Amino acid sequence: MIFDLLTVSGSAFDVDAATRAYLDTLQGPAKDKSDAYFEGGYYLLVFGTLVAVLIDWLILRFRFAKALRDFGERIFKRPFGATWLTALLYLLVSGVMALPWSIYTDFWREKHFGLLDQSFGDWAFEQALGAVIGLAIFPLLIALVYSIIRRAPKTWWVAGTAVTGVFLFIGTMLAPVFISPLFNTYSEMEHGPLRDRLVSMAAQFDVPADNIYVFDQSKQDKRISANVSGFGPTIRISLNDNLLERTSEEEIVAVMGHELGHYVMNHGAWRVGSMLTVLGLGLFLISRLGPWLIARYGERWGVRDIADPASLPVLTLILSLYLLLATPAFNNITRLQENQADAFGLMAAQEPDGFARAAMRLSEYRKLEPGALEEFLFYTHPSGKSRVRRSMQWKADNVPNAAIDVPPEGYLDQ
């Protein structure tokens, strides 16, 4: 990709001017569309929670939870089996009830903004496949947590958090090998100068690079991405085909430098630990609020106590509201790590303009210039403006005789 170089007035590289030169490449309808899509997500976050709460309330109000529990207890005499079946049926029923909302948010809206390339049939198949995987995992986790509740009704949230952590760790380790390939085709990256450069960069930081895969994200959408996933023997570097086909070598190397930063700084384990801390607080609140709600309304709902699997909608209702309130905490934990990986990636790849261009491409679905409070509350990653400015500051500090690179008009459409 060829870029025009502007001569910088004076001897100093103007970080603000260089940043603005990038930001101004997104203008007019394209910027309005980006802002509208991302800002709409703020409302979806609230309304999505209200939909989840409404579904749980309806399941309780019309005693569906009791009916599911009674059916589970008729099929299984042991509490573990009855809880597992109750949880399975609850997830099925609530999933079907939420289907119109899912179609609107995950299919129709994505199509409306031009961010989804799948037909409805292909999208529905992947949603069904994801649901099957979830039904194979979550009822078992729920049954284990209820076993703990029966044994320790006051302190179950401690062991419940630990069990959830075990599931998260196993899932993170196994997903790259057994789950991700169910949705996309993974193949070894072709040998050549680009792969050699990525392998060399990974080797500098002792990141295993025996397996570098390319997966066909383009079957779903045009978004660029890459990751270093897995633990131990399942560690692998993966790039999606959009990254390879839509961007320059400088962008690819910059993105991979960022992803290597996550691995080197052990962000996977830290993220699981941080998220479990926030989740543990949520389970603690459930352990206190759940019995109070059941004592007040349990007879009306047909729920005996918190150890009764029919209480599952009560627990998930509280959890949904808590997670909405905890969203800024989750977002800031993630954004802190993304900031750290950005700084590492600039140092590792030494491609500040490549990183700035890659950050600009994310404006397809992420508002480029949010306010400070907006970024604090809603952003899981640094904003495009923050990332471009960091890149230009790194360039000013590390590149002799730096000049402002202005991408050609229309490069974001590639």
What per-residue confidence (pLDDT) applies to 1?
36
Measure the CA–CA gap between 336 and 382, rounded to whole angstroms: 8
Q: Is residue 8 a part of any domain in this protein?
A: no
Q: Is residue 336 a part of any domain in this protein?
A: yes
Q: Is 10 helix (H, G, I), strand (E, B) or coil?
A: coil
Q: Is residue 242 a part of any domain in this protein?
A: no
What per-residue confidence (pLDDT) applies to 59?
98
Q: Is residue 316 a part of any domain in this protein?
A: yes
Q: Is residue 235 a part of any domain in this protein?
A: no
Handedness of CA 399, 403, 408, 412 (dihedral sign): positive
| Domain of 141, in residue numbers | 28-158+267-397
What per-residue confidence (pLDDT) applies to 413?
72
What per-residue confidence (pLDDT) applies to 208?
84
Handedness of CA 303, 306, 310, 311 (dihedral sign): positive
Q: Is residue 112 a part of any domain in this protein?
A: yes
* Mean pLDDT, contiguous 10-residue spans, the chain (414 residues): 38 87 92 95 96 98 97 96 98 97 97 95 97 96 97 95 92 86 94 94 88 93 87 83 93 95 90 90 96 97 97 97 95 94 96 95 93 94 96 94 80 72
Q: Is residue 220 a part of any domain in this protein?
A: no
What per-residue confidence (pLDDT) applies to 414?
65
Number of structural domains the chain divides into: 1
- Is residue 272 exposed (0-12), middle (13-18) or buried (19+ Cβ within 10 Å)? middle
Q: Is residue 413 a part of any domain in this protein?
A: no
